[in-house]
A and B are shown apart, each in its own frame.
Chain A
Amino acid sequence: MTATDPVLRFESVRKAFGEQVVLDDVSLEVPEHSVTVLIGASGSGKSTLLRCANLLEEIDDGAIWLDGEDVTDPRVDADAVRRRIGVVFQAYNLFPHLNVLDNITLGPRRVHGVRRAEAERRATELLDRLGLAAKAREYPDRLSGGQQQRVALVRAIVSEPRVLLLDEITAALDPELVTEVLSVVRDLKEQGRTMVLATHEMAFARDVADQVCFLADGVILERGTSAQVFGDPQHERTRRFLSRLSDAGRL
């Protein structure tokens, strides 16, 4: 790991829904300009961990640090924290009543006070890069899943967040679109963005991750470079999870 402080740090995070303890004791550091990939069975708490980082859920115990600030402190202004985090949800969550351009410029204009012309110029530039320039005036419901997902990505990065949280952004896409969206993520990595992503797309995880975390039983059971975790998993549970995947032809 680099000598600099991590952008995002989870310290013994605990989160329960009623009786069900989803995250028991999760500690994790996300260094700057690195890609952290969360893997684990369905229901292991990947989405929950990301939602906690974005302060959409209140954690029960532990702390989450963003740039050295404890963002889970009840005194913290949650909106100011969220402004520094970009999120793409599993289900896109584009605003259906706004067209693509307005979806993307809503944050910059209303939150960051960017002027409309400037915000639209920047949005168009990003859309162009993702091959969506022609769809700028279209409404989300009339875009394909892959297009919606890319718009959601643009919406998340347009305000230059410190860290991007991506939750299974390819779950609903066909293989060709998956490649398309993942190449966008790869570009983002090359630009040096810090990202945490949850995925079931192991080939991609292996390829893009600087650090892979295997989540099970509410803890990060195993953590390492993708070569370590995929190539030589130390833990029995990890091995079982990965071999199940490779049996299913997904590795």
Chain B
Amino acid sequence: MSGAEVSADPVMGRAPYQPSERRLAREAYRRSRTRRSALIAAASTLAVATVLFIVVTGSPGWPVTQKTFLSPHYARAALSPVLHGFVLNLELLAVCGPTILVLGLVIAAARTLRGPVFLPVRLLATAYVDFFRGFPLIILLLLIVFGVPALQLQGVTNDPIILGGTALVINYSAYVAEVYRAGIESVHPSQRAAARSLGLTYTQTMRFVVLPQAIRRVVPALVNDMASLQKDTGLVYIGGAIDAVAAAHIMVAGSFNYTPLVVAGLGFVILTIPMTRYADWLTRRMDRRRAQGGIV
């Protein structure tokens, strides 16, 4: 090796940065790859769509199917009552969703409590989850919506919407509690150790270190459960509440045209998509701020 090299004055003497030929060439190449990918994506999508269109519209039963399931006339007629019904679905979601998220967290936290004093709490929470996760939602709904009024209890409501919502909350909080618990257990034990060594109590450790990490990890699973809940709010119609599904069903019964049900179904899809996208965006943003990143 020759004598130590000292680069020319590093601070003052360095010319301001100019992208090199190499960088420009690389960027041009990457841009052309991106363009190519976009073209391929567009072409393949178009091809698949065309094939699907030809296969579906070419099938022998298509004209009849189109009339009974996709009639523009009935779709227009269904729009207003179905939209009206959706207000109920959204109200149920707005009330039950947060309740479930909080109740599930409480149950999950109860299950992770340590120490002999908490044994009954732990047992109760475990039994609750075990039971209601296994119990079919539809039976639970029927029992609560028709069973509770039959008891004729003083001061207890007979409102099918409230009762149906209660059944949803009971069932879903058991699921959501398990999602939280999985998240809590996925946080590496060294995190607890670090927090406890700072002098944080068990509760503080959960509150400030474990749960923030756990919840972040389970956001996609929770959104999944919320999307599922959103659809299941449709089940309250068995107690006589008029939601979007019930409204569509009433129209179908009168006309024997199934288009209103398709409209209601699509409505649920449209409601779910923004929720999922929002959650994706949220988790991505959280990751970007935190993670080292890199390209793998």
Contacts and interface: CB of A to CB of B under 8 A. Distances in A.
Contact of B10 (A1, A51, A57, A221): A221
B294 A56 contact: yes
Contact of A74 (B6, B26, B189): B26
Interface of A: 1, 12, 14, 21, 24-25, 51, 55-58, 60-63, 72-75, 78, 96, 141, 210-211, 216-217, 219-225, 228-229, 232-235, 237
Contacts of A224: 1, 3-5
B53 interface: no
Contacts of B296: 55-56, 78
B6 A222 contact: yes
Contacts of A217: 10-11
Given A60-B23, A73-B26, A217-B11, A228 B3 contact: yes
A-B pairs, 3 with minimum CB distance: A224-B4, A228-B4, A56-B294
Contacts of B17: 14, 21, 24, 61
Interface residues of B, number: 25
Given A220-B7, A235-B6, A74 B294 contact: no
A232 B14 contact: no
Contacts of A63: 22
Given A62-B22, A63-B22, 19 more contacts: A1-B2, A24-B14, A24-B17, A25-B14, A51-B294, A56-B296, A62-B20, A72-B26, A74-B26, A74-B33, A75-B29, A96-B188, A216-B10, A217-B10, A221-B6, A223-B5, A224-B4, A234-B6, A235-B6
Contacts of A25: 14
Interface in B5-54: 5-7, 10-11, 14, 17, 19-20, 22-23, 26, 29-30, 33
B295 interface: yes
Nearest to B295: A58
7 contacts: A14-B17, A55-B295, A73-B26, A141-B190, A211-B1, A220-B7, A222-B6
B6 A57 contact: no
A31 to B, nearest CB: 9
Contacts, number: 71
Interface of B: 1-7, 10-11, 14, 17, 19-20, 22-23, 26, 29-30, 33, 188-190, 294-296
Contacts of B10: 216-217, 219, 221, 237
- The binding surface of chain A is classed by DSSP as mixed
B27 to A, nearest CB: 9
A62 B26 CA distance: 10
A36 to B, nearest CB: 11
A70 to B, nearest CB: 9
B29 A74 contact: yes
Nearest to A224: B4
A58 B26 CA distance: 11
Contacts of B189: 141
B4 A223 contact: yes
Contacts of B20: 12, 61-62
Contacts of A210: 1
Nearest to A96: B188
A163 to B, nearest CB: 18
Contact of B30 (A74, A222, A228, A235): A74
A192 B5 CA distance: 25
A223 B7 CA distance: 9
A1 B190 CA distance: 46
A79 to B, nearest CB: 9
A237 B7 CA distance: 12
Contact of B4 (A1, A78, A232): A232
B259 to A, nearest CB: 51
Nearest to B15: A25
A29 B178 CA distance: 54
Contacts of A75: 29
